[in-house]
Structure 1
Amino acid sequence: MSTSEDADFFADSEESPGEDCAGFGGDLELNPFDGLPFSSRYYKLLKKRKTLPVWKVRSQFEESLVNNQLVVVSATAKSGRSTQVPQWCAEFCLSAQYQHGMVVCTQTNKQQAVDLALRVADEMDVNIGHEVGYTIPMETCCSSDTVLRYYTDDMLLREMMSDPFLEQYGVILIDQAHERTVSTDILLGLLKDILLQRPELRVVLLTLPHMTKKLLRHYGSIPLISLEASPAEVVKSNCSSEDYFLSALRLVLDIHRTKESGDVLVFFASAEEVSRACSILQIESSRLRGKLDQLVPVSLCSSQRELLTEQSSSTKSRNVFLCTQQWEDVWCIPQSVSFVVDTGLQKKMVYNPRVRAYSEVLQPISLCQADIRKQLSAPSGKCFCLYSEDGLTENPPQILESNFTPTALFLKRLEIAGLGQCHFIDRPGDFRGCLTRNNEFAVSPSCFLKPSSGTTHEAARCRGKFQHPEGDHFTLINIYNAFKQSQREPYITPEKWCQNYFLDHSALKTADVIRSQLMNTLNRIELPISEPSFGTKTNTCNIKRALLAGFFMQVARDVDGSGNYFILSHKHMAQVHPFSCYGAQAHKLGLPEWVVFNEYTLSENNCMKTASEISPQMFLQMAPLYYFYNLPPSESKDMLQVLLDSDGCSNCKEKTQTARMSGDANSCATATQSHDRCAIQ
């Protein structure tokens, strides 16, 4: 919970008009990072910074950093570790004239990385994008002068593709190590080898007390700098798992009736619960109007950060901030929060490798999460826990609950680049198996926004304008082409256009960036690129062949003509997603018998997302025969076998004969047709 500390620094942003611009002394003191005199604001912030708990261990930390390659700093919320420790590391690198490199500090949340960079630049009295900067997906604000960088953990991993040993950095800080994201766990594993190769490198791990023992076991005898947590007043209010939602709302209203000052922060299990709670509290607030101060529910999300600041500045109302576990580590939660209501539950997406699908599960939060939330009310507030801590454990790290295949492919690339094995803190069980089977991974998030209540029909009407008879993949191309066209419209911005059509502007921007990267790659390897021919029969066929080349394990057949699809690879039944063109306009388009799909999700009524029609002949042409022969027995497989043995699939028959003659079914893993050009849609 590193970045919720000192949020009140920005509350006092006005300098006193008569304050000496030289600070505490009469002589001008120069900033060693940019050579300019310090401003009066620098000294004002420095005075506040020195009151932070982490400053008590500054000397101990700096001594440990000089004498050790690896240092662990264990500190709880509001300690100042995420803002102060990176600055001390920057001073350490400056003292060596950056001969070993600069400083990078990872974050698990992109908005957090941006906010921290802005804040630290202010404290260091330098310009953002120069001495201090940030890099997040699709955006970088750094220059050659940037000595302290805040990165998301996945972006630092991506940088390792071109710089496996991170040789441009002298100090690497891994913040929020306790969150155990996939990227953070990989970094923790790879750094063990990197430290052996680079004795001059320093690594600092910033974490909570719960994680320290595991880190010490993983890395051996290393210095540990610990800060004690401020005690939080905890009120136990046990309730059954069935009525936690209403119990939390009743408790909020009870707190409001006491007329005690302070805002309320409530943790729910999912975004859907947050939306429901917001609607209920708005109704209750109108009933209480005139009797009590106004009760203002605020649903926390990235698009409401400005609203959060605006609402929290009101003195005639009590704000109720409603959030999920994603907001445990966000620094911009106001200091006005005096009460925390914790339902103790969360919804998580857990990957099942057997059926290659994610499912949403409701489960208790971890002991670590419980402590983080308690600290949000410390030291003078109260935390109401609507659960018993007896049932809390440590949740498995994300790397054990995610699709590991993309990670395995990434690590294989690093191994080729010269980096040794990854020393996982918790090793995934299917690590080697991932490297031996064909797979794919998504490169872009969904572009569809979930409509709010009352706009469902309008959103469906807008999606219908883009739907393509060949399937959802072609619908996405229609959407992308329309998005590019909107960028040329003089009377509407792309952002507004996306809003009008219930589309995610950031997702379409991501798709645009990925397309540009693919174009650059093709140009770099001098592969000819054909002119776009979207809509032609040949192009449609080529798109489907390309999809099957990567998604041949994700093929399904409608077994009864009513939309009940049998997935060949694991024999589960599924339906197309309601957003699919086959779901929305099945009465017009008809349901295809065979489809290739991108994703199968157990938690959404066994839905297949992004599906397009294919023919069984095309599937047999593109799927490796070793995969086909290892499919579990089914009626659908028997149908394909008959087709494979008949004259209706001559190319497939040739593949079979070649494989049998050579005695190696793997030799048939590639498609029979070859093309000397790439077509970028």
Structure 2
Amino acid sequence: MPRDPDPPPAKRFKPGSPFFRLDKKKPGMLLPRAGHAAVGVDTQRKQLPIYQSRTQLINQIRQLHNAVFIGETGSGKTTQIPQYLYEAGIGRQGIIGITQPRRVAAISLAARVAEEKKVQLGKLVGYTVRFEDVTSSETKLKFMTDGMLLREAIGDPLLLRYTVVILDEAHERTVHTDVLFGVVKAAQRKRTEQNKIPLKVVVMSATMDVDLFSQYFNKSPVLYLEGRQHPIQIYYTKQSQSDYLQAALVSIFQIHQEAPASHDILVFMTGQEEIEALARTCRDISKHLPESCGPMTVVPLYASLPPAQQLRVFQPAPKGSRKVVLSTNIAETSITISGIKYVIDTGMVKAKRYNPGSGLEVLAVQRVSKAQAWQRSGRAGREDAGSCYRLYTEEEFDNLANMTVPEIQRYGPHTVCRVCSSASAQTLLISPEFSCAEEVLTIISLLSVDSVLYNPPARRDDVLAVRKKFISSEGDHMTLLNIYRAFKKVSGNKMNMKLESSLSDLTNVRRCLAHGLFMNAAELQPDGSYVALDTHQHVAIHPSSVLFQAKPACVLFSELLHTSRCYMRDLCLVDADWLQEAAPEYFRRKLRATKS
């Protein structure tokens, strides 16, 4: 991002200037509530809006099998309802499970509730996320990602360990949450039919559009909680902003020069590259500001950050320094970042859409919905009165879609069970024929999760130097295999398959991948571009691939991703003859179609 130090960006626009205008017309935004002071945990719990409705809420939930609960951001619903149920003896026969869309939310919420209950994390209160289980036989309040509960349901469809399941942040409509609706509804019905301990389901949302949730769970009652803990002022821009990144930069330093250092800032961006670029620019500009402005601690937050790096956002900035958190929509819900007084909302989000015709997942920047905008503004009022600067006009806000399109309508069918795509399963099943089941199982396992590679921009050269030790000229799949072999030898088995290894000869591994993934092949064209053989789509090698600088004649890819171009990701060098060998009739049909 270009610097603009002359004049300092912060001096361009002020809240009282034509750049921002305070909105006083929107209902429900300025809610009277006492300011936050340094008080104990017990006192804080009693100050939450939900506390006044505690008795009534418990009595209602006790009588219901299903309930849909609506409470504004900051009302206390996520941390308090599980505790209220446990304290009232509801669901004590088993575990009260609380699902979250994101791991950082599950971890931070469990830590907060353990603090409020004055217990060691992992005892009464625990959490389970991928690769980390902080629970014990004593755990009764269990926070987890929705994907982890789905995984448990594979082995225990009735979810017999649980007496209450709380599906939190249901308005986000993630694929996993939507699938869980069906899982818990089926478990609830079957447990009743089999005279087992009933399962109580509580759906929690921060938005008012919950009729679908109520209808799906047998027209269950909707419980409303009015009030937010602290007031929030909303500012809009006077004119539409052509460059929301520049507007965000200006807003950050405008606040930094005028507000007390203890007032932290949360900025909503769209992705890792944007965040890291803005972080570098902020750090650079802050070094050249007058001493009166004070130092600035810039902390990024996005999904591909390692867990330990994500948790840095909860650490206070050094004394006298302002914390500026640059985040994707990962910070929209559930998590409370202490000290946040200002929210800067760019109004943009990066989202995937799946095209079933082409098989492409398109990742594009788009406008947020109104529901997302309100969620973002709510981050400013978690601990005290706050302000939200929306980098778009009020008219632009009015034209936003009311709700975000659910992920299940935007994502590919492989999203929930990525290992079980037709292509991956076929590759795995035929791998014994090529004496490389061990390698193929490893590769498919590595591809079934988010990228195992972390690329901190500040250490780019170090990362590349280390990665060179594992790079294979035969592609990304072989590179992943090298990395895993260096980390740990494969152990265990699947489907009683004979795990025979090809050892150092990886030709059979690539031939096996060709037989399983032949529909994901692309061929080099005379002009240097690539065309996918199945769809005839023009594609390119993703810059992150180890084959990016090469021009192999024929490659396989694990997925297509459309951003500025249609990119192939996770590539493998193959021989065109192997593809013909794998599916001769398929390629004959393709050849006939091309000629006709």
- Under a length normalisation based on structure 2, what TM-score does the superposition of the two structures give? 0.79
Which stretch shows the higher mean deviation, 339-348 or 403-412?
Answer: 403-412
Residue matched to 2:525: 559
Paired residue for 1:325?
Answer: 329
Quote the Cα distance in structure 1 between the aligned partners of 2:238 and 2:204: 33
Aligned to 1:201: 199
CA distance in 2, matches of 1:330, 1:277: 25
The structure whose residues are more often strand, as a share, is 2
Cα distance in structure 1, aligned partners of 2:58 and 2:368: 35
Question: CA 1:547–1:239 in structure 2 vs 1: closer, same or farther (change >3 Å)?
Answer: farther
- Contact 1:239–1:386 (CA under 8 A) maintained in structure 2: no
What is the one-letter code of the residue matched to 1:289? P
Distance in 2 between residues matched to 1:129 and 1:286, nearest whole Å: 42
Does the CA contact (< 8 Å) of 2:341 and 2:380 recur in 1? yes
**Aligned residue number for residue 61 of structure 1:** 57
1:391-430 matches, cutoff 5 A: 391-393=399-401, 394-407=403-416
Q: Paired residue for 2:69?
A: 73
* 1:424 aligned partner: none
Q: Would you say 1:248 and 2:248 are equivalent positions?
A: yes
CA contact (8 A) 2:104 2:311 kept: no
Return closer, same or farther for 1:372/1:148 CA change in 2, 3 Å cut-off: same
**Matching residue within 120, 127, 132 for 2:125:** 132
TM-score normalised according to structure 1 size: 0.70
How far 1:552 moved relative to its partner? 2.1
Q: Secondary structure at the residue paired with 1:376?
A: helix
> Which shows bigger deviation, 402-411 or 107-116?
402-411
Q: How many residue pairs end up in the alignment?
A: 523
Q: Is the CA contact 2:92–2:140 (under 8 Å) kept in the aligned structure 1?
A: no
Are 2:587 and 1:621 aligned? no
2:533 paired residue among 563, 568, 572: 568
Q: Which residue of structure 2 lines up, in the alignment, with residue 148 of structure 1?
A: 141
1:348, distance to aligned residue in structure 2 (A): 1.7
SS of 2:457's partner is: coil
Structure 1 residue 10, shift from structure 2 partner: 13
Indicate the residue corresponding to 2:429 in structure 1: none
Q: Deviations over 1:180-227 (max 9, x none)?
A: 110001112333333322342210111113342332233343222212
Alignment counterpart, residue 223 of structure 1, candidates 203, 221, 230: 221
User: Partners in 1 of 2:536 and 2:445 — Cα distance?
Assistant: 20
> Which residue does 2:212 correspond to in 1?
214
Q: 2:419·2:445 contact (CA, 8 Å) conserved in 1?
A: no
User: Matches of residues 326-365 of structure 1 in structure 2 within 5 Å?
Assistant: 326-329=330-333, 331-334=335-338, 336-365=339-368
- 2-side partners of 1:307 and 1:187: how far apart? 30
| Structure 2 gap ranges (5+) | 1-34, 193-197, 422-443
**Larger relative contact order (Cα-Cα within 8 Å, sequence gap ≥ 6):** 2
Distance 2:571 2:313 in 1: 39
Which residue, out of 86, 89, 105, partners 1:90? 86
Specify which of 381, 390, 397 is matched with residue 385 of structure 1: 390
* Distance across 1 between alignment mates of 2:446 and 2:356: 14
Matching residue of 1:529? 499
Match of 1:542 in 2: 508
- Paired AA for residue 558 in structure 1: L
Q: Percent identity?
A: 30
TM superposition shift of 1:632: 7.6
Preserved CA contact (<8 Å) 2:78 2:334 = no
Q: Is 1:186 aligned with 2:179?
A: yes
The aligned counterpart of 1:581 is: 546
Q: CA deviation at 1:163?
A: 0.9
Question: Following the alignment from structure 1 to structure 2, what is the Cα–Cα distance between the partners of residues 411 and 196?
Answer: 27
Residue 565 of structure 2 is aligned to residue 605 of structure 1: yes
CA distance in 2, matches of 1:544, 1:328: 42
2:25 — aligned with what?
none
1:384 Cα deviation after fit:
1.3
The Cα offsets for residues 429-453 of structure 1, whole Å up to 9 and x where unpaired, read as: xxxxxxxxxx999413323333526
Q: Which moved more, 1:196-205 or 1:293-302?
A: 293-302
Cα distance, 1:60 vs structure 2: 2.1
* 3-state SS of 1:600 partner: strand
Consecutive unaligned residues in structure 1, runs of 5 or more: 1-7, 13-43, 413-438, 485-511, 639-681
Local SS of the residue matching 2:536: coil
- Residue by residue, what CA displacement relative to the aligned partner does 1:251-305 show, whole Å, maximum 9, x if unpaired? 2222233345622222223232222222222233223223433344333355445
AA paired with 1:134? Y
Alpha-carbon distance between aligned partners in 2 of 1:10 and 1:619, rounded to the nearest angstrom: 68
Aligned residue number for residue 301 of structure 2: 300
CA shift in 2, pair 1:58/1:264, >3 Å: same
C-alpha change, 1:448 and 1:191, in structure 2 (3 Å) is: closer
Task: Specify the code of the residue in structure 1 equivalent to 2:399.
Answer: G
